[in-house]
Structure 1
Amino acid sequence: MISLRNLTLRRGTRVLLDSASVSINPGEKVGLVGRNGAGKSTLFALLNGTLHEDGGDFLMPPQWRMAQVAQHMPETAQPATDFVLDGDTRLSHLREQLRKAEQLGDGMAIAQAHADLADAGAHDAPARAQALILGLGFQVAELDRPVNSFSGGWRMRLQLARALMCPSDLLLLDEPTNHLDLDALVWLEAWLKRYEGTLIVISHDREFLDAVTQVTLHIDNAQLTRYGGNYSQFEELRAQQLTLQQAAFERQQAKIAHLQKFIDRFKAKATKARQAQSRVKALERMERIAPVLASAEFTFEFQEPANLPNPMLALTDASFGYRAEDGSEKAVLSGVSRTVLAGQRIGILGANGQGKSTLVKTIARTMAPLGGKVTEGKGLAIGYFAQQELDVLRPDDHPLAHMVRLARELGVDAREQDLRNFLGSFNFSGDMVLQSVGSMSGGEKARLVLAMIVWQRPNLLLLDEPTNHLDLATREALAMALNEFEGTVMLVSHDRALLRSVCDEFWLVGRGQVGPFDGDLDDYQRYLLDESRRLREQARAAAPAPAAVPAPDAREQRRLEAQARQQLAEKTRPLKRELETIDQRLALLAQEKAQLEERLMQELPPAEIAESGRRLKTCTEEVERLEEKWLDVSAALEELGR
């Protein structure tokens, strides 16, 4: 196990952990949480050997193999599959041994190397590497593309695939979801659930932590506290602890006040001096309970729009896409006819590469439609947060300069002090308003972009992955602000907690079309599994036939193929039966839930209301458990079908 005993850890002069103690057992999946700057990444540096403890003991089994995502951007012309394949360090080492043995002509060493490579899974390593790449959202045609031909976000996905490829007993993941779409995120969750080693993950995605982890480590006030349970369970337990701590603090303060009152009143009286002195000693011996300091969480709100056109905009038989360098047009979406009304909260769903960002960019006027008509309502004011919006900020300028320039571009006469006060509401106070943007964290840059959008008083918000660099507190603040916003919201995000809390309807972008999605996010996750299976089958059908090779005896070939089909059927049959059983049970539960919900709307005796409520809760919990099981079984079935 991993053991920290009375551990002290510093970064410069700052103490990040002070006499902290905790244990992590083999095979546990742990979420590491805490405020930005609390020391999460520093603790990772201790675990991977980059830093050493300043005091106390840190113990980890020396034989454990560790994997983590390299943070540097890879610059190599190596094909994507080979780059990920090299993440299996054991295979790379064995291949090097084989090469040396062949150079020396050492027959025994060559035979041993081949045996070791077989044990290490060399025969299916390329297929495993490609499964990781495809699972993280790449297309079949991109498997052999040079790494440096991809954008930064896609190269970081390849770094993640490379880390997953590495055989490990301990896997460290620091914000693995930042560059992922929802389809890749669902796949990663399923992969991590099957991972057999110890996992420690830093993430600001609440639902990802809930789905993957069973233990939560919280860093606060230079201490590490272990909680059994995922992030939501941690929040409940911590809230209970803080409530108890505050109550105990208040009781102790009342007792201290009572003792101090006696001391002050009688310390000068000879007859009471001894009793007063004993109370002084009691006060000195008392172990003080710290008060719960209410943390000033970040909050903000969108200003009331100047007007609300209705409809906001209308798309009529529109085609969206891009124009190639040779002038030809490449349509991604066609025949789109949708209307956006005032006050709508629309979540835009779709598998990777289907055209979500293309749709949003065209509505935001950064791309022109290829055909059809986009009709905007009179007075439409768009606030657009793009995935690459942080790159648009000028790194050498400070936040105040950005606001002054924005006011000038919009022709608004704004005093510098007013702009400073506005930035202060987004936690840019004091000298921070004059700090260069290039030296800021990703979360601070995202807050600056949000501030610039809010200042423009939009009535239509187009948000394309706005949470990539936001911590949990800022994500909560964004969700609250969006729920209070009086205009219209169109949101693309892999943060399911944000989608659930903000959106009341969904559009599905896929197969070149845009239409309503009749279902919730759980239904959408099932759709993603079906869609990925369809795309894989489509890619197989489009792949060129392999070059002809001398065929074995036709009868023997047919026998082998029949045997392979039979073996596959034997493996998949119980999984298919299990899926059918789950589907049947889910249908029954859906019917029972509907009956119970209808019954609870009627006037019933208290006892019947209580019983129906308990049964409804039981049904809901069973549905959640079965849906999770459905996803696991489907993933296993899909894995066998590859």
Structure 2
Amino acid sequence: MPREGEVSRTRSGDRPAGRGCARRNMATYVEIIRHEFPDIDSELFQYVTGVLDSSAADFESVDEIFEAIGDVLQEVSASKNEDDVREICQKMFNTLKLNTSNSSKSNVLLKAPIQLSKVTSNSDYKTEDVKGIWMMRRDMGTTVDAKKLEKAEARLKAKQEKRTEKSSQKAASPLVLEEASASQASNKKESRLEASGKNKSYDIKIENFDVSYGDRALLTGADLHLAYGRRYGLVGRNGLGKTTLLKMMSARSLRIPSHISILHVEQEVVGDDTQALQSVLECDTVRESLVQEEKELTAKMNAGRGDGTESSRLTEIYAKLEEIEADKAPARASVILAGLGFSSKMQKQVTREFSGGWRMRLALARALFAKPDLLLLDEPTNMLDVRAILWLENYLQTWQSTILVVSHDRNFLNAVATDIVHLHSQRLETYRGDYENFVKTKEERLKNQQREYEAQHQYREHIQVFIDRFRYNANRASQVQSKLKLLEKLPELKPLEKEPEVTIRFPDNFEKLSPPILQMTDVDFSYTPDCPIFKNLSVSADQESRICIVGENGAGKTTLLKLLLGDLAPVQGIRHAHRNLKIGYFSQHHVDQLEMNINSVELLATKFPGRTEEEYRHQLGGYGISGDLAVRPVASLSGGQKSRVAFAQMTMPCPNFYILDEPTNHLDMETIEALGNALQKFKGGVILVSHDERLIRMVCQELWVCGCGTVKRVEGGFDEYKDILQEQFRREGFL
């Protein structure tokens, strides 16, 4: 007997036993052909088995086998149709794959020589057939038609090259996303009024319009009326088309009078050598053109190159500049920038030195300074800290023109909105009042609709009972006919449309850890020696902790999180973490870091291989990414849907402690509510950086204020922190 690890040899030909085993397995598909096509002639038999034998490793699907030999097999037997032959090809494909996988493993040791007589005694085939099999394998050249085999091999090779070319093109080509589009029914009266130039109203009426994204309808036959000077909050579930609607309005794909100026805060300012303050001032194009012309005329006069008309033109320019209060523009721009967190030093910085978040703030500052007739804001609070949000709330409350803002910050909408526009079921419904009033009115409206539906349903049943009872009564025939007509005239009953409830659950099947599970003692940290971020910092958390970290942008909140995570090492001091601590981290840039060119199921499979597709779908479904959403490219999902995918990815390993950095960005109100409920029920620890007042009040028991190189605990919680900020505004003259 050979030793373990050796390859045994047969006595004839000194070949490895594994080769003999491969031949024995290979006979299986030959047996299938012999059994299914007993009348096949030897030439065709040799051709088919030759193709299968020579290209076994190249076949990747049953379709490829069918394409290679299906036509030949169909000609052999008139009793078998295409489906029968395809089924036979499936059996052979299974056999080939089994042989391929076996050949990749270590060779099998034969305990004894194969007895052909025993093989044939247990088989339905003759000994000559089995002998033929072995002989064919031993001398392929003498039995297979070389031309036919060469043709089949060339066919397979061409197919393989084509497949390789397709896969390389797919990898090289960028993902092409669907595009949004809008259409609107024509209105001759409005068109004539617009063409005449007599339309001076700043109210906006967009009627009977559709908006779609690719093949998916977002709005159908919708109407939107915006009264000048009112502030509208646009709300609705993630992915229904709120952002798309703003883009269609901004691009004037929907009919908006041409004399109404529109400004959509969508993209960050392009970084260049322009100072932040000057970048804001340049938004007032009228003022900028007058100032520029004044400079050019003055230069001409000083150089003696004037023609005598400069003096009168300068007088006109000065009058216009005085009329638009151009001298107050720098101060007004500076106030806006300061309110959004730009210090005096930052206002003089060139825009290319700012990060993306600060450039978005700069874009918002430019929009506020420009004072368009219609201001479109998409999640303006996402880029702001609590202080800047409070300032923006106060600033927008005195806004003179029209605002349409998409926001999922409940408190922001309560402070700013005079009306709420609700997008659902491919239509828009407008409610007077702030968000809280909208919730109450909507609930009351739904109750009334439900009562009306039930009353109509009862009335229909009552009529139907009478019809059924007297249908065959001749004396009541006229009454039955009357009731039938009445039933036909009743309006069609539509059940109440309820939006599905959002649920989020953080798994908590883990053991309780003894405190402290996360602690930092006397920690100093700085990125550069001359600019310390923290000095003598000492904080701790356990599994019962519900901590919210607040502070101005740049105060070190994200740096503190990275120190707690262990991603940054203290310059001095100690970070201690429990040996069984398992942290789930949600970065504010988590969504941007997702792989965009694959779908959500593939994303989880890449991060956590070895599980079934059903497990990945179940995980995603727990965060509202189910059905078609789970197999759409991540890039095509809305911001909120991407956030849910990020949550599904974060919770897959079942952490026992969560550190969440701005998790509410892009989430709709219902999902924020579900997130708050999930964190309340979670049995592990939570440290949260957020500006969402609703979530903070729902979840957090401690408030840490980050700033001035340290972290302070505010005993009075969020209310005390808001009071502190309001007092700062009063001192700084913002209120």
Q: Does 1:321 align with 2:517?
A: no
Cα displacement (A) at 1:403: 2.1
2:314 aligns to what? Answer: 110
Distance in 1 between residues matched to 2:599 and 2:244, nearest whole Å: 28
RMSD value over aligned CA atoms?
A: 2.5
Please state how far the C-alpha of 1:49 moved relative to its aligned partner.
5.4
Residues 156-190 of structure 1, C-alpha deviation per residue, up to 9 Å, x if partnerless? 11110100010333322121111111111111111
**What's 1:31 paired with?**
233
| Counterparts of residues 362-373 of structure 1 (less than 5 Å) | 362-373=563-574
Q: Counterparts in 2 of 1:391-540, with a 5 A limit?
A: 391-407=592-608, 414-530=611-727
- Cα distance in structure 2, aligned partners of 1:4 and 1:205: 27
How far residue 308 of structure 1 moved from its aligned partner, in angstroms, is: 2.9
Q: Which deviates more from structure 2 when the two are superposed, residues 197-206 or residues 132-141?
A: 132-141
Task: State the SS of the aligned residue for 2:644.
Answer: helix
What code does the residue aligned with 1:362 have? L
Q: What is the match of residue 164 of structure 1?
A: 368
- SS of the residue 1:172 aligns to: strand
How many positions carry a matched residue from both structures?
524
What's the offset of the Cα at 1:501? Answer: 0.7
Correspondent of 2:538 among 337, 350, 354: 337
Q: Which residue is equivalent to 1:197?
A: 401
Alpha-carbon separation, structure 2, partners of 1:229 and 1:497: 19
Q: Secondary structure at the match of 2:397?
A: helix
Partner secondary structure for residue 201 of structure 1: strand
Q: Which residue pairs with 1:579 in the alignment?
A: none
Q: Decide whether aligned partners of structure 1 residues 65 and 252 sit closer, same or farther in structure 2, where only a CA change above 3 A counts.
A: same
Pair 1:184-2:381 in alignment: no
How far, CA to CA, are the matches of 2:351 and 2:668 in structure 1? Answer: 29
Q: Tell me if structure 2 keeps the 8 A contact 1:7–1:21.
A: yes
Counterpart residue type for residue 504 of structure 2: F
For residue 274 of structure 1, the aligned residue among 475, 478, 493 is 478
CA distance in 2 between counterparts of 1:49 and 1:442 reads 21
Shift of 1:329: 6.7
Cα distance in 2 between the residues matched to 1:64 and 1:98? 28
Q: CA deviation at 1:236?
A: 0.7
| One-letter code aligned to 1:68 | H
- 1:381 counterpart = 2:611: no
Q: Evaluate the alpha carbon distance shift between residue 45 and residue 135 of structure 1 in structure 2; reply closer, same or farther with a 3 A threshold.
A: same
SS in 2 for 1:301: coil
Counterpart CA distance in 2 for 1:464 and 1:246 is 41
Q: Is the 8 A contact 1:136 1:161 kept in 2?
A: yes
Aligned with residue 278 of structure 2, among 78, 82, 85: 82
Q: Which amino acid aligns with 1:496?
A: E
CA distance in 2, matches of 1:118, 1:491: 50
Give 1:608's aligned residue: none
Deviation at 1:192, TM superposition (A): 0.6
CA offsets 1:542-599 (integer angstroms, 9 cap, x no match): xxxxxxxxxxxxxxxxxxxxxxxxxxxxxxxxxxxxxxxxxxxxxxxxxxxxxxxxxx
Alignment partner of 2:246 out of 24, 35, 44: 44
Q: CA deviation at 1:224?
A: 2.8
* Per-residue deviation, 1:201: 1.3
Q: Does 1:68 align with 2:264?
A: yes
Letter in 1 for 2:701: D
CA contact (8 A) 1:183 1:352 kept: no
Q: How far has the Cα of 1:460 moved from its partner?
A: 1.4
Contact 2:239–2:637 (CA under 8 A) maintained in structure 1: no
Is 2:391 the counterpart of 1:226? no
CA contact (8 A) 1:245 1:289 kept: no
Partners of 1:25 and 1:106 lie apart in 2 by 44
1:136 match: 340
TM-score, normalising length: structure 2: 0.67
Q: Could you give the per-residue CA deviations for residues 205-252 of structure 1, whole angstroms, max 9, x where no partner exists?
A: 111000111211222334332212101110111001101111110111
2:239·2:640 contact (CA, 8 Å) conserved in 1? no
Q: Which amino acid aligns with 2:580?
A: G
What fraction of aligned residue pairs are identical, expressed as a percent? 36
Match of 1:638? 733
**5+ residue gaps in structure 1?**
534-633
CA distance in 2, matches of 1:448, 1:212: 31
Contact residue 660 and residue 689 of structure 2 kept, 8 A: yes
Work out whether residues 4 and 20 of structure 1, in 8 Å CA contact, stay in contact via their aligned partners in 2: no
Cα distance in structure 2, aligned partners of 1:432 and 1:370: 45
Q: Which amino acid is the alignment partner of residue 500 of structure 1?
A: R
Going from structure 1 to structure 2, the CA distance change for 1:3 and 1:442 (only over 3 Å counts) comes to closer
- Flag the 1:76–1:281 CA change in 2: closer, same or farther, 3 A: farther
Mapped partners of 2:228, 2:629: distance in 1:
43
Runs (5+) with no aligned partner, structure 2: 1-201, 301-305
Q: CA deviation at 1:638?
A: 0.9
**Distance change in 2, residues 1:336/1:305 (3 Å):** farther
Q: Spell out, residue by residue over 1:254-287, the C-alpha distance to the aligned partner (whole angstroms, 9 max, x if none).
A: 1112212322333343322221121122122222
Counting only pairs closer than 5 Å after superposition, residues 473-622 of structure 1 correspond to structure 2 as: 473-530=670-727
The Cα of 1:489 is off from its aligned counterpart by 0.8
| Secondary structure of 2:421's aligned partner | strand
- d(CA) in 1 for partners of 2:251 and 2:602? 41
Tell whether the 8 Å contact from 1:73 to 1:155 is kept in structure 2 after alignment: yes
Seen in structure 2, the aligned counterparts of structure 1 residues 333 and 348 have a Cα distance that, compared at 3 Å, is: same
CA shift in 2, pair 1:5/1:329, >3 Å: closer
Query: What is residue 350 of structure 2 aligned with on the other side?
Result: 146
Contact 1:248 1:289 in 2 (8 A): no
CA distance in 2, matches of 1:396, 1:286: 51
Residue matched to 1:250: 454
Cα distance in 2 for partners of 1:300, 1:528 equals 33
* Match status 1:359 vs 2:560: yes
Change in Cα spacing, 1:433 to 1:219, as seen in structure 2 (3 Å) is closer
- Name the SS for the 1:178 alignment partner: helix
1: CA distance, partners of 2:470 / 2:569: 85
Partner of 2:488: 284
Which AA in structure 1 matches 2:354? F
Would the aligned equivalents of 2:375 and 2:404 in 1 still touch at CA under 8 Å?
yes
Relative contact order, higher structure (CA 8 A, sep 6+): 1
Alpha carbons of structure 1 residues 23 and 434: separation in structure 2 relative to 1, 3 Å:
closer
Equivalence for 1:542: none
Q: In structure 1, the residue corresponding to 2:543 is in which secondary structure?
A: coil
| More divergent stretch after superposition (214-223 vs 365-374) | 214-223
The 10-residue stretch of structure 1 (498-507 or 166-175) with the greater mean CA deviation from structure 2: 166-175
The counterpart of 1:261, out of the listed 456, 461, 465, is 465
